[in-house]
């Protein structure tokens, strides 16, 4: 089977990593995949391999500009097309109308407000893959997509899901965290919807007796504002801005808990990666968040904006014994390695595409 995976740009986000995983899993499964991007380059561009093609001859900085898209599809004549990301999905409806014999699969992997063309594509494409049950329910209730045309395939773990490793004292010491420091970690691009500023506010209001640090990994337009806020709240020595990490795995091994205050999610790659490495999670209840962990056992959802409850959950985790932490870590890792196994998720995509191809 020939598969065309379409993505606008290989920035460093979770959807882009899922595109790379899907395209990379095709050959071992006996399929041929091409990853077609609108823009060349990108933070993850070097990971794309020889199967990547770009439509813009040079990077024009335009996520929406897809010159020659129909010509590229016609030349490739794939057995199935999978559109990943907002801009690619805006074209899914046009592609399905232009190539009615080729199943075009739109994907719903965001909780943000969708452009009109994206919503149109969800209704026109042959099928829709949602990455959480919450996203599926939203598509049915709010976007008018028939339930029988939606399949839920959760995100796959991006990095090898090794068993929980002992905390890395070297990295902790390098960042100024002592053996008793409770380290909270968030790995996400600094975009408004990721809401890292709220994590700074929450951490700054933790009990004075608690020895804590907040590690924020990632870059983006909101980083400078968050750095100013940390200084304003007198927390600049405790909030660490770690920048973009191509592989944040060492951070997971050094931290004690995952924290997320995002306003818009569908299924958080960060939370499932953290769970796979044994980190308990505290997160605002955005779409799909509760599906990233065993709610009440390996993670806790908090009503958006409820800072006191968020702080209480952190304080409870910080007070747990080493034995209880180890039990919780083992349960989190077992859950994530089973529920978000990359081979299982890729197989689910290929099974769906073969079925659509034959229908």
State residue 359's pLDDT score: 75
Residue 176 resides in a domain: yes
State residue 12's pLDDT score: 85
Residues 242 and 258 in one domain: yes
**What does pLDDT average to over the chain?**
94
Residue that has been written with the tokens 């770009």 in this structure:
54
Residues 89 and 119 in one domain: yes
Residue 146 resides in a domain: yes
Residues 201 and 115 in one domain: no
- For helices 69-76 and 86-98, give the axis angle rounded to 10 degrees: 60
Residue 150 resides in a domain: yes
Residue 162 resides in a domain: no
Residue 262 resides in a domain: yes
Q: pLDDT tens for residues 236-268?
A: 999 999 999 988 989 999 999 999 999 989 899
Note the pTM of the prediction, 2 decimals. 0.87
- Given pLDDT bands bounded at 50, 70 and 90, which one contains residue 162? low
Q: Is the pLDDT of residue 78 over 80?
A: yes
Number of domains composing the chain: 2
Residues 6+ positions from 302 with CB-CB distance below 8 Å: 282, 283, 284, 285, 309, 310, 313
Residue 163 resides in a domain: no
Domain range for 346: 2-156+341-358
* Residue 217 bridge partners (DSSP): 187, 243
DSSP 304: T
Residues 6+ positions from 10 with CB-CB distance below 8 Å: 16, 19, 20, 37, 39, 41, 42, 43, 44, 45, 47, 48, 52
Q: How many beta carbons lie within 10 A of that of residue 98, not counting itself?
A: 14
> Distance between CA atoms of 198 and 177, rounded to whole angstroms?
22
CATH assignment of the domain containing 93 = 3.40.50.2000
State residue 285's pLDDT score: 95
- Planar angle of CA 7, 8, 10, nearest 5 degrees: 80
């Amino acid at each position: 089977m020939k598969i065309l995976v379409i993505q606008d740009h290989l920035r460093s986000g979770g959807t882009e990593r899922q595109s790379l995983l899907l395209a990379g899993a095709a050959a071992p499964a006996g399929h041929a995949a091409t990853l077609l991007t609108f823009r060349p380059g990108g933070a993850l561009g070097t990971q794309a391999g020889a199967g990547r093609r770009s439509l813009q001859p040079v990077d024009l900085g335009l996520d929406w500009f897809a010159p020659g898209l129909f010509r590229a599809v016609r030349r490739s004549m794939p057995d199935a097309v999978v559109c990943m990301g907002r801009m690619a999905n805006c074209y899914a409806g046009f592609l399905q109308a232009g190539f009615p014999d080729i199943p075009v699969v739109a994907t719903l992997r965001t909780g943000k407000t969708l452009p009109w063309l994206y919503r149109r594509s969800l209704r026109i494409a042959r099928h829709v893959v949602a990455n959480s049950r919450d996203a599926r329910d939203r598509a049915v209730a709010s976007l008018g997509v028939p339930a029988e045309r939606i399949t839920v395939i959760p995100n796959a773990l991006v990095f090898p899901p090794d068993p929980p490793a002992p905390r890395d004292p070297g990295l902790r010491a390098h960042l100024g965290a002592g053996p008793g420091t409770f380290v909270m970690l968030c790995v996400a691009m600094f975009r408004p919807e990721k809401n890292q500023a709220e994590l700074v506010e929450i951490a700054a209001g933790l009990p004075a007796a608690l020895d804590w640090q907040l590690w924020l990994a990632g870059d983006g337009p909101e980083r400078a504002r968050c750095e100013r806020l940390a200084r304003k709240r007198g927390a600049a020595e405790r909030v660490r801005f770690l920048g973009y990490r191509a592989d944040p795995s060492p951070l997971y091994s050094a931290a004690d808990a995952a924290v997320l205050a995002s306003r818009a999610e569908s299924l958080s790659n960060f939370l499932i990666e953290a769970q796979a490495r044994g980190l308990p999670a505290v997160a605002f209840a955005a779409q799909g968040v509760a599906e990233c962990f065993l709610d009440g056992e390996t993670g806790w959802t908090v009503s958006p904006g409820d800072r006191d409850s968020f702080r209480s959950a952190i304080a409870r985790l910080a007070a747990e014994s080493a034995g209880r932490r180890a039990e919780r870590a083992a349960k989190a890792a077992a859950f994530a390695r089973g529920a978000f196994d990359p081979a299982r998720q890729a197989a689910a995509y290929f099974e769906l595409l073969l079925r659509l191809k034959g229908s």
